[in-house]
């Protein structure tokens, strides 16, 4: 099992980001955090890096259900979505595979939630 869901797109970087945000919203997710890796590396390290953003997405109902089942599960939240420009100039979008986060979790409810979240994130990625 891969720890991520990935798709190469034909979008520009900004188009891909806008489309991802739109599709996440359709699946009931909001973006709680945003890390502009390119900007961070430039400001903190003086290094030029390709366009690369990490969006921390959360579906409030799934998060509530997960934390109600296991209060420590917050270490696995939010679900990260990565938008990155490749060396070839193309843009790849990937999302965490929530099933990979629950491999060692002995909690049927969390495993079922991970599967439901995976299905939604797959739809987001496939829609691109």
Global pTM? 0.93
pLDDT one-digit tens code per residue, 11-20: 999 999 999 9
46-64 mean pLDDT: 97
pLDDT digit string (tens) for 76-105?
A: 999 999 999 998 889 999 999 999 988 888
pLDDT score for 88: 86
DSSP string, the chain: --SEEEEEESS-HHHHHHHHHHHHHHTT-EEEEEEEHHHHHHHHH------EEEEEEE-HHHHHHHHHH-GGGGGG-SEEEEEEE-TTS-EEEEEE-HHHHTTT---HHHHHHHHHHHHHHHHHHHT-
Domains of the chain with bracketed CATH:
4-126 (3.30.310.70)
Q: Would you place residue 1 in the very low, low, confident or very high pLDDT band (cuts 50, 70, 90)?
A: confident
């Amino acid at each position: 099992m891969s720890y991520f869901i990935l798709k190469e797109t034909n979008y520009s970087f900004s188009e891909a980001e806008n489309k991802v945000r739109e599709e996440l919203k359709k699946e009931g997710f909001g973006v709680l955090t945003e890390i502009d890796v390119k900007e961070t590396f430039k400001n903190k390290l003086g290094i030029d890096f390709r366009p690369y953003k990490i969006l921390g997405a959360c579906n409030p109902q799934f998060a509530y259900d997960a934390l109600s089942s296991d209060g420590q599960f917050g270490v696995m939240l939010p679900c990260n979505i990565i938008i990155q420009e490749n060396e070839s100039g193309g843009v790849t979008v990937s999302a965490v595979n929530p099933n990979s986060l629950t491999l060692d979790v002995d909690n049927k409810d969390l495993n079922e939630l991970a599967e439901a979240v995976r299905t939604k994130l797959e739809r987001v990625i496939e829609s691109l």
